[in-house]
Amino acid sequence: MQLITLLASTEDAAHSHSIIDALPHLAGMLMVMVTLTILWGVCAFTAKMVGTFLPDKKNTTAPAPATATPAATAPEPAPPAESGIAPEIVAVIAAAVAAVTDKRPVRIVSIKPTSTSWERAGRQSVLTSHRIR
């Protein structure tokens, strides 16, 4: 109770707060909202224009499936890796290769872990590039 009395006594009686004092702040908030709305509209318009100029991948007719030939059949899965790479990792690498090669038939011959010699060489290069004072 004493705190409220203390705050009330320190408030300047001649400086009363009203809606007129808050108008600059309200105008600033309104300006921010209007600007954000305009930016949203520009983004929506741009997305609509891009959508009209680019072909829709969902509506394009799919090419007729190729007839299965011995060369186009899926290759037999490789035997499990002896290096101890998990089958999930092999599947992820195979999916990445298929995505990059545009789903052309490819065969992964081997998957080997990379050595850290390049990593060590890079660290050594960074460490020796600085002058010691």
The predicted-structure confidence for 14-42, as pLDDT tens digits, reads as follows 556 777 888 889 999 999 999 999 999 99
Whether 73 has a pLDDT exceeding 90, the answer reads: no
Whether 69 has a pLDDT exceeding 60, the answer reads: no
Cα angle value 99/103/106 (rounded, 5°): 100
Whether 67 has a pLDDT exceeding 80, the answer reads: no
Give yes or no for a contact between 105 and 70, defined as CB atoms under 8 angstroms apart: no
Whether 49 has a pLDDT exceeding 80, the answer reads: yes
